[in-house]
Amino acid sequence: MTTFPPDGYQRVASTLPGIEVYAPVAEATEAEAAVVQFKCPRCQATTAYSAEEGGLRCAHCGYYEPPSTPAVGKRAQEFEFTVETVSAAREAAGWGTERRTLRCQSCGSETSLPPGRLTSTCPFCGSNQVLQQDAPDDHLRPRFLIPFAIDADRCRAIAREWLGSSWMTPKSLKTAAGVTELTGVYVPYWTFDARTSASWRAQVGHQVTDRTYDSSSKTWKTRTRTVWRWESGHVARVFDDLLVPGSDKLSSHLLRKIQDYDTQALVPYAPSYLAGLLAQAYDVPLESAWAVAREQMRDRTREACHGQASTSQVRNFSMSLDFSDESWRYVVAPAYVAAYRYGGQSYQVMVNGQTGAIAGQRPVDWTKVWLAVAAMVAPGLLLGLLGVLAAVLGTVMPPSLAVGGGVLLVALVLVIIGGVFAVMTLNKARGMDDV
């Protein structure tokens, strides 16, 4: 020990006289301004986060400020479910629900922020502002985020392409539908890691075929029966970065469809990533999200247990499951929420701001769909009519009776096949505007 105390240590309380104790200085928590504004240092115009370049860009003079925090990916700090954190999370259930008034430091105007919003653009002077909101537990602030990698223009192109990618949509949709609102928003997510260790026991059915001789009929008879045997096993699974949406304001159906985020791109939270974009605070509390994640984990573990059984016939299944090494993170991930109008109706689209995965509602041209359905079942019906005709003719010309029967049989097969495809098409069409 050359220098004492070493750099980065500070004296802390000691309970015994004659003994001094020094502990590492707690990681400096930056004194955060309540509101961070983004002004170009060159021209004082408003800067905004550029998804294309990954830093702040001034649209006025072209000034560029690179990102301050490098990606940490899966090394991003995770938190355990300590008793204190769980209690704080319970108390924090209402966090973000209060409406906050943001005073613009540029023009002095006041804007009322809706619940859960962390960012704002001043409607009077266009300044981008990020609200550094307080949380009852420091852990319950977003510490990491996945930055936008797709800019609004590319997102718009993706949306256009997607709109015209289905034959079921109106022909004019691709050109006529203007994506009226394309909002980049950081959506809150909880990520969970855990190990599951399960022991299971069940009766597994095995098909056994017996061959017996029936003396009365003097024939051999085959009988298949199920023999149930007890089996047991052990399954261990590791879950890494299981994502659960932290927002109940956005469609969970759409969020699930686009949430293939790559957590390798996680960066430490910095307000500059939020400049000019919307960001939501979580409104699904940690405990509820963890319950959802646990449900998914245990169901997948149960499936793995079932997979260990020697056949798929299982009954009296029971299992016990222990969770260990549980940890969580609160992150925000990029998404574009778009709305467009077509035929007087409003439709929603959501695009993954990192990968470009898209999900949403599309209007359906039901004329096209019904025509397609008709085309699918028509051959069978027409053939059926021909078959009936031939059968009727069979009363006067007996050979045509047999022909009519054959045609009817083929028509029946075609109707069934056409009907299946028709139902699938209708379901798909119905799902296109489902949210």
Partner 1 sequence: MSENDGSLSEVRALEAIGVVCEQCDWRYFAPGDGTIPDVSPSSVCPHCGSARLIPLDRDAADHLYSAPPELVVPFGVSEAKLAQQIATFASGIPYAPPDLTATALRHRLQRLYLPMWLVDVDVTTQWGAEVGFNYEVVSHQERYADGAGWRTAEVRETRVRWEPRVGTLERHYDNTAAPALETQAALQRVLGSFDLAGAEPYRPESLGRVLIRIPDRPPQAAWPDAAAALQERAARECQIAAEADHIRSYRWSPAYTDPAWTLLLLPVLAAAYLDDDGAPQRVLIHGQTGQVYGARRGSMKRAQRVSLITGLIALAIFAIGLVLALLSLLLPPLLVVGIAIALAAIPVGIGAIFPIARVWSYNRKQADVRMEV
Instruction: Report CA Rg, the chain.
Output: 32
Nearer to partner 1, 63 or 323 (CB): 323
Nearer to partner 1, 79 or 370 (CB): 79
* Strand, coil or helix: 251: coil
Report DSSP letters for 379-392, one per residue. HHHHHHHHHHHHHH
Q: How far is the CB of 289 from partner 1 (least distance, A)?
A: 14
Q: How far is the CB of 311 from partner 1 (least distance, A)?
A: 16
Alpha-carbon span 375 to 63, nearest angstrom = 59
Nearer to partner 1, 112 or 316 (CB): 316
Alpha-carbon span 80 to 194, nearest angstrom = 10
Q: How far is the CB of 74 from partner 1 (least distance, A)?
A: 21
Nearer to partner 1, 304 or 381 (CB): 304
Q: How far is the CB of 407 from partner 1 (least distance, A)?
A: 50
Alpha-carbon span 205 to 313, nearest angstrom = 5
Cis-peptide, bond into residue 67, ω within 30° of zero: no
Q: Which helix (H) or strand (E) holds 267?
A: strand 267-268
Closest among 146, 185, 135 to 32, alpha carbons compared: 135
Q: Which residues bind partner 1 (CB under 8 A)?
A: 1, 4-6, 9, 12-16, 18-24, 80-83, 86, 294, 298, 302, 315-324, 326
Nearer to partner 1, 65 or 326 (CB): 326
Alpha-carbon span 208 to 17, nearest angstrom = 80
Nearer to partner 1, 144 or 192 (CB): 192
Q: How far is the CB of 25 from partner 1 (least distance, A)?
A: 12
* Strand, coil or helix: 155: helix
Q: How far is the CB of 30 from partner 1 (least distance, A)?
A: 22
Please state the φ and ψ torsions of residue 329, each to the nearest 5 degrees: -140, 150
Alpha-carbon span 363 to 342, nearest angstrom = 8
Q: How far is the CB of 253 from partner 1 (least distance, A)?
A: 24
Residue at 330: amino acid letter: Y
* Strand, coil or helix: 104: coil
Nearer to partner 1, 23 or 227 (CB): 23
Nearer to partner 1, 234 or 315 (CB): 315
Q: How far is the CB of 78 from partner 1 (least distance, A)?
A: 12
Contacts of 16 (CB under 8 A, 6+ apart): none
Alpha-carbon span 153 to 161, nearest angstrom = 12
Q: How far is the CB of 190 from partner 1 (least distance, A)?
A: 15
Q: How far is the CB of 87 from partner 1 (least distance, A)?
A: 9
153-184 core/surface letters (b: 16 or more CB in 10 A; e: else): eebbebbbebbbeeebbbeebeeebebeebeb
Report whether 136 contacts 252 (CB < 8 A).
no
Nearer to partner 1, 44 or 318 (CB): 318
Q: Which helix (H) or strand (E) holds 154?
A: helix 152-163
